[in-house]
Structure formats: structure tokens, C-alpha cells
Amino acid sequence: DTEVTQTPKHLVMGMTNKKSLKCEQHMGHRAMYWYKQKAKKPPELMFVYSYEKLSINESVPSRFSPECPNSSLLNLHLHALQPEDSALYLCASSQGTGDGANVLTFGAGSRLTVL
Amino acid sequence: AQSVTQPDIHITVSEGASLELRCNYSYGATPYLFWYVQSPGQGLQLLLKYFSGDTLVQGIKGFEAEFKRSQSSFNLRKPSVHWSDAAEYFCAVAPWGGGNKLTFGTGTQLKVEL
């Protein structure tokens, strides 16, 4: 299995809702990532988990809350989002160490719309 | 800080023509270098990577890239473009030694005319 699976593919939520994005991989990767991508822009790193521990938080607002329940799963909990948070959210994974730590496999993304 | 520049925002080529997408990086040492492709509304797919060794690297879908240290460049090439190659192409760099921080260029939108 060489895939990263993201659910849901599309999500529409109001500013007072609480929702979650989910990501799963079964490649034995020990690093997992959340990226945010606005239209016509490159992906921007949000969070990195390495060996189930949060290793990088790119100063992301607290209305985004990541969670890594185990080495195969990564969640992004969303609460009190703003319309400007509407974007494609990409999950990725990589090996935990060595050269492979920089070779990311991306999921297809979750398209989020905040009304 | 490391940075990646893709000078061409849009490129249009005819099907069957050759393609070259430019990428320049700024970094203290030779970083890891990557090219990713993204179809509309999709995730990113790795085309090829350069870590060390042979400066001409082969990737998937008939793409290749050449690392030129003297020019701090890592340009992507394809001898004959197919209509299905129309997509957004991102060059990316990561610091030598890892660190899990991939920095993307701004991307080049490729359009293929039939």
C-alpha cells in the first residue's frame, strides 16, 4: 500500500462548527504532515509529527488542532474557523529518518469551505 | 533561509514539443531537490528527486531533471509533452540532513495545446 488516504474529500462548515479531517497511511512511515494550500499557491506547512510527537508547528492558529493517535493516523480538528481558512488541506507522510524523511507521499486532499 | 524560485508562472507548449521548467534555489549548501506535479484539485505526486551523485536524474512519466551546482538550478525537462502532462509543477527543496521541512516554489502552470 503506497497511498495516503484523506477523508472527507469535501467539507463545508459554518464558523461555529466543530469538524475533523482524517488521514491514514499504511506504508510504515513515522512522520506525518499537514499542509494548507490556497488556490493558485504552493502548499504551506502547518504541522509535522515525527514518531507520533508534534515536532513542528508553523505558528498555526489554535483553531486548528492536530492529533496523531498512532503512527498510521493523523487528524486535524477544526473549530471556530474563518472563511479565509477555506483551502485544500493536504496530508503527507514520509520515513522518520534518513534521506527518506524528505520524500513526502501526499494524499489527494480535503477541500474545506467555511461559510 | 532557503528559498526556491520558479520564474515561469505559466507555460504553454504544443503536444509533442519539448519542455523545460526552470527552478533556482538559494541555500547555504546543496539541499535535497524535488519536482512534484499536481493535477487540478488533487494532491501532489513526486516526479523525481536529487540527493547526490549523478546530476541528471530520471523520474516517472518520462521526466528528467539536471542539477547544476554552479547555477543553483534544478530544471525539469521532457523531450515530448503529452496532453495529459497539463498540470501545476512545483519545485521543492529540503535542507541537507533532513529536518522534515520541505519548501515549495510558487509553481508553474503547464498548458498543452493539441
Q: What is the pLDDT of residues B11-39, one digit of tens each?
A: 999 999 999 999 999 887 778 999 999 99
Phi then psi dihedrals of residue A100, to 5 deg: -65, -15
Give pLDDT tens digits for A80-99: 999 999 999 999 999 887 77
> In the beta sheet, which residues pair with residue B5?
B24
Closest residue of chain A to B42, computed from CA coordinates: A108
Question: Which of the given ranges, A74-78, B31-35, B102-106, has the highest pLDDT on average?
Answer: A74-78
| Contact criterion met (CB below 8 Å) for B50 and B76 | no
- Which of these, A35, A94, A31, lies nearest to A60 by C-alpha position? A35
pLDDT (0 to 100) of residue B97: 67
| Contact criterion met (CB below 8 Å) for B55 and B68 | yes
Looking at the partner chain, which of B45, B51, B104 has a beta carbon nearest the beta carbon of A43?
B104
Let me know how long chain B is.
114
A75 vs B94: CA distance, rounded Å: 24
Distance set, CA A59 to CA A62, B3, B11 (Å): 9, 19, 34
- Which of these, A39, A20, A19, lies nearest to A84 by C-alpha position? A39
Closest residue of chain B to A31, computed from CA coordinates: B100
Q: What is the dihedral of CA A16, A91, B55, B3, to 10 degrees?
A: 20
Residues 6+ apart with CB under 8 A from B66: B55, B56, B57, B73, B74, B75, B77
pLDDT (0 to 100) of residue A109: 96
Q: Which residues of A touch B36 (CB under 8 A)?
A: 106
